[in-house]
Structure 1
């Protein structure tokens, strides 16, 4: 298939406890058969028996594995569903927020550039963490271990990275989780509408 005619790829990202997983679950139901989703690679790795670490060498190895798994999962879904729009639960650049070294070191290690990774995605939809509104970010995700302060710090790093994308869409934090998720769903629908 000619790459020009391929359906697009959208990354849904943001700080921990932002509501992106809830919004993605609802969008998958609404657009069943029209979109294919890519699960979060970090969740797959950490729920598969790999423990989180604060050791810089281990962190680098983990983030390299997550980066490569993310790319491969996206490629698998593209090959399996060439006619569908692809929604990615996080993207390849999320690891940069967790990288214990410089940005240049990250791109050297991953053998890529910021521009190359941005070109993988036609749009970015960023869900701010609920911790920005003073809300609790606890969820039923057993691998989430960030405090509210850590969630805000990660959110800030992730937003700094992804906001440089030419089609960046922000779903801001809100005291009402339901209103935020509904706004997030409308944002996703609007972005999907650009590419159908």
Structure 2
């Protein structure tokens, strides 16, 4: 599979025009069909790690939930020569396949809450949104980011299966206040330094991202996202904005009722306003709290989507020297953003096994 993918990736890289590579399966899917010890043995033998297989290899992952989970009347094996699983087995494999991709920074789950035609349209819309392709009203789904303040962190045992990452954000100097730029490193398998009581940033497996938010144009703020190398990250770090603190947080990614959530747990060292801060985020078309099924094992204090003090830009801002209080608008709190994703390699979207 990987060799076939690499062949197409290389062909796409040689194209002069823009090229989108869509993979019907992906490397992590194999883990759903193997015992955990077999999968770990295979990774060890080939010197693989999840960050490379899952996060760096694909720019976006879309999981099409099986008809066996939510559209049972349409699930059958009679007309499929390669499908033999009964309903329960199919559900288990579907959950395992989705779980294998939890942790990818751009992971979308397309469930069976609509008819099949609409489901396909939602999938196409997710790809178009990621590539900033204007599909018009036909695919407009009004999916927005919503943010919730969590009271306290419960024990790990109450969470569904999750993936934890260490995330470090730094804002960069920009020509004017209407423009924002930041870099992010996101890693797994990072060792905790007991002596210095901090994460050892020289360990683990990392991905690096450079984000630029342009000034507002026609009530929209274009956003450029670029996957960068470790070397480029270190060079950009020299442009760090001294008016902002560095953000250290643990990001916990998990699925709950076919909804993808990210829980940001702010870590030391951090500014006083971030001590003990827990923010839950998700993208959804449900605009009312009662319409969105939030994890029942978390004590949600309130929604803070529109509260500017909880945007990362303002959380990291150093207080003015004159003692005044300033909160700047961060496009994290705005619902209408133009997303323009620019990749250092041709975009590769992975569609996990879906319902047909």
TM-score, normalised with respect to structure 2:
0.33
- Shift in Å, 1:160: 1.1
Aligned to 1:159: 98
Higher CA-based Rg: 2
Aligned to 1:30: none
Aligned to 1:59: none
Aligned residue runs from structure 1 range 99-178, under 5 A:
99-102=34-37, 103-117=39-53, 118-133=55-70, 134-138=72-76, 141-174=80-113, 176-178=115-117
> In the aligned structure 1, how far is the partner of 2:21 from the partner of 2:43?
24
> In the aligned structure 1, how far is the partner of 2:86 from the partner of 2:11?
33
Deviating above 6 A after TM superposition, structure 1's stretches of 4 or more consecutive aligned residues are none
Structure 1 unaligned blocks of 5 or more: 1-65
SS at match of 2:105: coil
> In the aligned structure 1, how far is the partner of 2:89 from the partner of 2:42?
21
Structure 2 residue corresponding to 1:195, chosen from 328, 332, 341: 341
Is 2:9–2:21's contact at 8 Å kept on the other side of the alignment? no
Aligned to 1:75: 9
> In the aligned structure 2, how far is the partner of 1:113 from the partner of 1:71?
18
Root-mean-square deviation over aligned CA pairs: 2.5
- Structure with greater proportional strand content: 2
> In the aligned structure 2, how far is the partner of 1:138 from the partner of 1:73?
34
- Structure with greater proportional helix content: 1
Q: How many residues are paired up? A: 130
Aligned to 2:33: 98
Structure 2 unaligned blocks of 5 or more: 133-339, 343-356
Aligned to 1:47: none
Bigger relative contact order, structure 1 or 2, given CA contacts below 8 A and separation 6+? 1
